[in-house]
Amino acid sequence: MKKRILYTVLFFCCTVVVTFAQKTIEVCASCETTTLTKAVETAQPFDTIKVKKGTYAEYNIGITKPLTIIGEGNPVIDGQNKGEIITIESDNVTVKGFTVVNVGTSYTTDFAAIRVVNSKNFVIENNTLKRLFFGIYLQKSNHGKVLNNTIQGDAVNEYNSGNGIQLWYCNHVEVAGNTVKNVRDGIYLEFSDQIEIHNNKSTDNLRYGLHFMFSNHDTYTNNLFENNGAGVAVMFSKFIKMYNNVFRKNWGTASFGLLLKEINDSEIEGNLFEENTVGINIEGSNRIEYKHNDFKSNGWAIKVRGACYANTFTKNNFLYNSFDVSYNSKINDNLFDKNYWSNYTGYDLDKNGIGDVPYRPVKLFSYIVNRTPETIILLRSLFIDIIDFSEKVSPVFTPDNLMDNHPLLKPTDHDRNR
Amino acid sequence: MLKILKYSFFDLMRSRWSYVYFLFYLLLGIVLLFLNNDLSKAVITLMNVIIILVPLIGTIFGVMYYYNSKEFTELLLAQPVKRSSIFLGQYLGVALSLSMSLIIGLGLPFVFYGIFNSGAIWDFSLLLVTGAFLTLIFTALAFVIALANENKIKGFGYAILLWLFMAVIYDGIFLMSLVYFEEYPLDTFSLVATMLNPVDLSRVLILLKLDISALLGYTGAVFQKFFGTNFGFILSSLLLVIWVAVPTFFIQHMAKRKDF
């Protein structure tokens, strides 16, 4: 017992000593240290640097020791378009509460507002980034957090703009509560596994709201993707979980809500796809479960491009889409079951809530359009309605086993608080 | 000619059919706005109605009016009036009263709904203008058919066939040729084929103005580029005018030669 008390006291003392050993350096126009660069140079590991309100014209700030850097009253760091602004190359660094502006644009180097290199346990929180090239660039860094940042770009062309938050060879990073606007890709993941992305807003981006490349075992939930070139693109990845996201108004001649290319073994559940030209565009993707999603007022709810096997679509609501499902082949290995289709015209004599006549989601016209894209110009012509009707009565061209055998008569009520 | 136009116009205005036609559009407009509460969606639904119904009613009404007023026409022919002015007057009387029913019938509910304060005003006016053009075109074609056929049944048959061809069969042939020649570049072909049929032309003109045009993808972009320019706009208006002018010329021509 005595020993335990001794240990406790000893531990407490140590903590106190360590705490007291940590210094706090203040930076302001009238302080002893007037620049952040200077403060970082003089600081000892585990010190805290507090930067007061003001504008600091600095760039290439290299942080090579564990530090906590806090901006008080939203100080502005102006990079004057000269290059990278903050580079973190040490574990346990926290950067909080800054406004970082004017990152240099380059065609050879990816300058970032805040870059993290080969580090662990970093926290980047409550920063605002404006007029940037790349926003937050994480490379080969693990176990960190990127929380509640606001990134406001002014990207015009894809070739000379960067991404909002980029992860390259990173694992176990949490990206949450960020708002990314008007950059090339809102959030971009390459070779990054076990990433948690939640409660972000990614809007008005040139290319994708969220972009996965060769990244596995990632989860994204409760995000909003609005008005991007394409909401989310998931390419060459496996085991991605996509829950409760909203994909809206990704509307344009080449826009998608969700673009899937070479994705396997993933789950897409509880998402809302509203007013996208194409809700989900699927190419070469296998064993994906689509459950409890809402597809509302899209041009195409689901466009299947080919080489997609063993996918299941259950308990989704397809509401008022111009085309529910489009297929470009006669072979079907995907299962549609117990979905609600607003275009369903069958009946339910035994009153069990399931339509007695199977529903065929692929219209002949969407099949023809897939074959000869120019025919789309006949959209909403009376002739098209007539051939769609006759195909519905006796299918000739569309895959005849592609049907929902148990179409629901009422929309599924998804419990979003599951 | 004006006198005959006036007479035909007021004769039709007094007739039950104009009222039915007018009330139909009024009701359609009100119901659409009531159920939809969304102006641009209502415009899409209206487009479907307009490109199918307006030509149909224009043709049937035109043929019907010609055959019904034949005795009166013969009476007029005995008077010292120019032949062309009799028929043109009648044609314009029918076409204008139909267009008026359409424009007022659809316009009223939308005006009360507040179309003037909405961004959809241009889409809507385009809709009414193309509707009026379609009425003019198909009534003129109906008169040509009626003038060419003494036999009522034959006349009606041809008129219905004409509508069927323009609204349905033409698109079928168009689709078949697109699919058949899918390996060739088809942009110019589809552009020309669309412009040659007034029903298709009106449909595409309206579609391109709506949000739904994003569905048209690459082909839509080609069309947008063409119709977005002044040249495309003038050309498409010109084509609609030609579609009115050519049958009108035929009415005049045939009226001069016909034996009664």
- Cβ distance of B200 and A373 shorter than 8 Å: no
ipTM beyond 0.90? Answer: no
CA atoms within 13 A on the CB side of B39: 20
Determine, for residues B186 and A381 on separate chains, whether the beta-carbon distance falls below 8 Å: no
Which residues from A are below 8 Å from B52, CB to CB?
382
Structure tokens at A172: 């176990």
Where b means 16+ CB within 10 Å and e means fewer, A241-268 reads ebbbbbbbbbbeeebbbbbbbebbebbb
What is the pLDDT at residue A379? 85
CB < 8 Å to B218, chain A = 253, 373
* Superfamily of domain A93-393, CATH level 4: Single-stranded right-handed beta-helix, Pectin lyase-like (2.160.20.10)
In which band, very low, low, confident or very high, does the pLDDT at B228 lie, cut at 50, 70 and 90?
A: confident
Measure A169 CA to nearest chain B CA, in Å. 36
Tokens of A375: 């025919």
Residue the block writes with tokens 């006549």: A357
pLDDT in tens, A377-397: 888 888 998 988 888 887 777
Q: What is the pLDDT of residue A222?
A: 94
- Name the residue range of residue B94's domain: 2-257
Question: A293: Cβ–Cβ under 8 A, 6 or more apart, which residues?
Answer: A268, A269, A270, A271, A272, A273, A316, A317
Residue A418: per-residue pLDDT: 46
Gap from B30 CA to chain A (nearest CA, Å): 22
Residue with tokens 């949450």: A176
Under-70 pLDDT residues of chain A: 1-21, 415-418
What is the DSSP annotation of B121-157? HHHHHHHHHHHHHHHHHHHHHHHHHHHH-SSHHHHHH
Per-residue model confidence (pLDDT) at position A5 = 63
Of B44, B172, B190, the CB nearest to A374: B190
**Each residue of B10-49: pLDDT tens digit?**
877 777 888 888 999 999 888 888 887 677 677 778 888 8
Percent of chain B with pLDDT over 70: 98
Whole-number Cα distances in Å, A127 to A148, A177, A196, A348, B209? 7, 12, 19, 56, 42
CA angle B25, B28, B34 (to 5 degrees): 140
* A and B: number of Cβ contacts within 8 A: 81
Instruction: Decide if pLDDT at B62 tops 60.
Output: yes
Residue A233 backbone class (left: φ over 0; alpha: ψ -120 to 50; beta: rest):
beta
pLDDT tens-digit readout, B122-150: 888 888 999 999 999 999 999 999 999 98
Chain B residues in contact with chain A using a Cβ-Cβ cutoff of 8 Å = 44, 47-48, 51-52, 167-169, 171-172, 174-175, 178-179, 182, 186-187, 190, 194, 200, 203-204, 207, 211-212, 214-221, 223
**pLDDT for position A11:** 58
Tally of structural domains, chain B: 1
Q: Which residues contact B161 (CB under 8 A, 6 or more apart)?
A: none
Q: Would you call B218 and A386 a contact, using CB atoms and an 8 Å cutoff?
A: no
Of B47, B207, B219, the CB nearest to A374: B219
* Structure-derived torsion over alpha carbons of residues B101, B107, B108, B113, reported in degrees to the nearest 10: 160
Q: Does residue B80 register a pLDDT over 70?
A: yes
Three-class HEC string of A207-235: CEEEEEECCECCEEECCEEECCCEEEEEE
**pLDDT score for B121:** 80
- Given this model, what pLDDT does residue A89 score? 94
Measure the CA–CA gap between B112 and B97, rounded to whole angstroms.
22
Residues 6 or more apart from B116 whose CB is under 8 A from it? Answer: none
Which chain B residues are closer than 8 Å to A396 by Cβ?
A: none
Q: Tell me, what's the pLDDT at A368?
A: 87
Instruction: Tell which residue, A133, A32, A122, has the closest CA to residue A69.
Output: A122
Answer left, alpha or beta for residue A286, where phi above 0 means left and psi between -120 and 50 means alpha.
beta
- Inform me whether the pLDDT recorded for B187 exceeds 90: no
Q: What is the DSSP string of B23-74?
A: HHHHHHHHHHHHHH--HHHHHHHHHHHHHHHHHHHHHHHHHHHHHHTHHHHH
Using a CB–CB cut-off of 8 Å, the residues of A that contact B are: 251-255, 277, 299-300, 322, 368, 371-384, 386-387
Output the pLDDT for position A4: 64
pTM equals 0.81
Beta-carbon separation of B179 and A299 below 8 A: no
Consecutive H or E run containing A347: none
- Report residue B56 CA to chain centroid gap: 9
How far apart, in whole angstroms, are the C-alpha atoms of residue B188 and residue A77?
Answer: 55
Interchain CB distance below 8 Å, A251 and B214: yes
